[in-house]
């Protein structure tokens, strides 16, 4: 009897051992891998789809399988989605390369905005009839395109040949720290090399810029003395790295307004009368400044010194730097002692602002003696002209009678 009891115990132990080995072999056949993440990498603050592949290399199917996503500070199941998936049976030999009976479990996961860049772990728990198992996988987190924001690009209008301070404020609006931020001003691409630095380098370095941190950078900008009055585009180049050492660069453009007050000049160029009487006057209109003078108009205003006969209003047009043109008008001088030509010049500057100026131009008036000394012909007055005509007629009449008497005397002989 005792032997029988011992035999029964041995058989029970053998049966239990067989089932235990079979169960262990089956559980040991589990193969759980992270098939992929989409997107890869994922940026902080975004969603990522995790596809987990579960297969069984054992010779017995694994019953009642269930996989659970374990949330942590960096990864949370998206709202409205389940953190667990019922898998049912994991078929035997489903790990073979040719097998198609493996099981896929998909989880939509939200990545926390402050998740560190790099490899961050996620954990899954797999429950089966044989036991519970844990699996950990790394998720690649990387800000795909971190950017810098320029909040302010401020500089006063600069006169050619002068300098002004440029203030640039940048901000890191990303959820990650940016390192080795290099800000460079692209003077080499500015038209006609109109801009440069007054002193110091055209480059500034910020070693670290934390999330939501702002920095202000200043440069002293010098404008070339020959720079035209107009806005100039100044490139601002940024080079920086994320916490993984990945390099990024971008370029933004700011505008530097250069303005020099226009300097149109109106001067007397020539006149053909220097005392009372009618004459032609020539004015020279020039632009010796660096600003373009646009739509220039010349108007001779009325005065007691003269009477305008013709050419009181004339359109000159645009005058580029160093350009000049002449205009002519016919004027009768009323004053033999002095005369000032009242001239109004109207024009637009390079920014289309309208300007008007009254220019008083003294005319050259000389006495009779001065005209004689200078060898300038004295214009005849109306009285002088009538006397001349009378004397000419009298001379002709006398000549006629003298000629006739001479002819009669000659005929008698």
Instruction: Give a yes or no: residue 413 inside a domain.
Output: no
Q: Residue 291: which pLDDT band, with cuts at 50, 70 and 90?
A: confident
pLDDT in tens, 248-290: 999 999 999 999 989 899 999 999 999 999 999 999 999 998 8
Is the pTM higher than 0.85? The answer reads no
Shared domain check, 80 and 211: no
Same domain for 30 and 88:
yes
pLDDT tens figures, 324-358: 999 999 999 998 889 999 999 999 998 999 999 99
- Could you tell me how far CA 107 lies from the centroid of its own chain? 44
Q: By the 8 A CB rule, do 219 and 197 touch?
A: yes
Residues 174 and 281 both lie in one domain: no
**Could you tell me if 153 and 253 lie in one domain?**
yes
CA atoms of 386 and 378, how far apart (whole Å): 16
Q: How confident is the model at residue 383 (pLDDT cuts 50, 70, 90)?
A: very low
Is 281 inside a domain boundary? yes
Tell me if 396 is assigned to some domain: no
Answer whether the bond into residue 41 is a cis peptide, omega within 30°.
yes
> What pLDDT, on a 0 to 100 scale, did the predictor assign at position 344?
96
Judge whether residue 149 has pLDDT over 50: yes
In 210-364, which ranges are E strands?
Answer: 214-223, 231-241, 247-257, 265-271, 277-286, 293-300, 306-310, 313-319, 324-333, 340-348, 354-362
Are 57 and 101 part of one and the same domain?
yes
Does the CA dihedral 161-159-287-193 come out positive or negative? positive
Within a domain: 383: no
Whether residue 401 lies inside any domain: the answer is: no
Q: Residues 16, 128: one domain? A: yes
Closest CA to 165 of 218, 225, 217: 218
Q: Total domain count for the chain?
A: 3
Residue 393 lies in a domain: no
Query: Quick one: 87 and 137 in the same domain?
Result: yes
Query: Residue 239 burial (CB < 10 Å; 0-12/13-18/19+)?
Result: middle
Q: Which domain holds residue 48?
A: 2-141
Distance CA 196, CA 221 (A): 6
Has residue 90 been placed in a domain? Answer: yes
Query: Longest C-alpha distance within the chain, in Å?
Result: 210
Q: What is the CATH classification number for the domain harbouring 84?
A: 2.60.40.10
Q: Please tell me whether residues 282 and 334 are part of one structural domain.
A: yes
Q: 286 by DSSP, 3-state: which?
A: strand
Q: Are residues 240 and 288 both part of a single domain?
A: no
Q: Lowest-confidence range among 74-78, 189-193, 247-251, 365-369?
A: 365-369
| pLDDT computed for residue 190 by the predictor | 95
Query: What proportions of the chain, in percent to the nearest 5, are helix, strand and coil?
Result: 15, 50, 35
Residue at which a domain ends, from 102, 123, 141: 141
Q: What is the pLDDT of residues 12-70, one digit of tens each?
A: 444 444 443 333 333 458 889 999 999 888 988 899 999 999 998 888 888 889 999 99
Domain co-membership, 234 together with 271: no
Residue that is last in its domain, among 257, 274, 300? 257
Final residue in a domain of this structure, among 211, 241, 257: 257
Q: 110 and 6, same structural domain? A: yes
In a domain, 408, yes or no: no
Q: Using alpha carbons, select from 334, 277, 264 the residue that is nearest to residue 304.
A: 334
Whether 6 and 65 map to the same domain: the answer is: yes
């Amino acid at each position: 009897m005792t032997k029988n009891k011992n035999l029964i115990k041995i058989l029970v132990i053998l049966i239990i051992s067989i089932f235990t080995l079979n169960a262990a072999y089956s559980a040991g056949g589990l193969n759980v891998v992270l098939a992929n993440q989409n997107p890869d990498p994922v940026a902080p603050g975004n969603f990522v789809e995790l596809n987990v592949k579960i297969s069984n290399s054992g010779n017995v199917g694994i019953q009642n399988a269930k996989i659970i996503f374990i949330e942590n500070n960096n990864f949370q199941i998206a709202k409205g989605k389940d953190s667990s998936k019922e898998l049912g049976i994991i078929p035997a030999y489903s790990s073979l390369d040719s097998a198609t009976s493996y099981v896929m479990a998909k989880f939509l996961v939200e990545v926390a905005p402050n998740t560190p860049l790099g490899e961050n772990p996620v954990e899954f728990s797999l429950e089966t009839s044989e036991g519970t198992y844990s699996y950990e996988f790394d998720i690649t987190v990387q800000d795909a395109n971190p950017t810098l924001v320029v909040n302010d690009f401020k500089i006063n209008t600069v006169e050619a040949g002068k300098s002004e301070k440029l203030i640039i404020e940048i901000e890191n609006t990303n959820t990650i720290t940016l390192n080795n931020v290099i800000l460079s001003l692209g003077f080499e691409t500015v038209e006609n090399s109109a801009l440069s630095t007054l002193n110091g380098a055209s480059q500034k370095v910020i070693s670290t810029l934390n999330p939501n941190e702002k920095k202000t950078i200043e440069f002293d900008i010098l404008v070339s003395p020959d720079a035209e009055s107009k806005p100039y585009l100044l490139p601002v180049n940024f080079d920086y790295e994320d916490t993984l050492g990945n390099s990024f660069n971008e370029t933004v453009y700011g505008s530097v307004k250069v303005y020099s007050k226009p300097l149109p000049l109106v001067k007397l160029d020539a006149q053909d009368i220097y005392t009372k009487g009618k004459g032609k006057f020539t004015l020279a209109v020039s632009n010796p400044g660096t600003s373009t003078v646009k739509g220039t108009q010349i108007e001779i205003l009325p005065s007691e010194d003269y009477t305008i006969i013709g050419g009181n209003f004339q359109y000159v047009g645009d005058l580029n730097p160093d350009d000049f043109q002449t205009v002519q008008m016919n004027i009768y001088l009323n004053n033999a002692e002095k005369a000032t030509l009242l001239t109004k010049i109207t024009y637009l500057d390079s920014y289309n602002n309208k300007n008007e100026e009254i220019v008083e131009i003294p005319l050259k008036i000389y006495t009779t003696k001065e005209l004689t000394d200078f060898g300038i012909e004295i214009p005849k007055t109306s009285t002088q002209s009538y006397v001349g005509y009378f004397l000419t007629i009298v001379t002709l009449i006398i000549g006629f009678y003298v000629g006739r008497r001479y002819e009669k005397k000659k005929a008698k002989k």
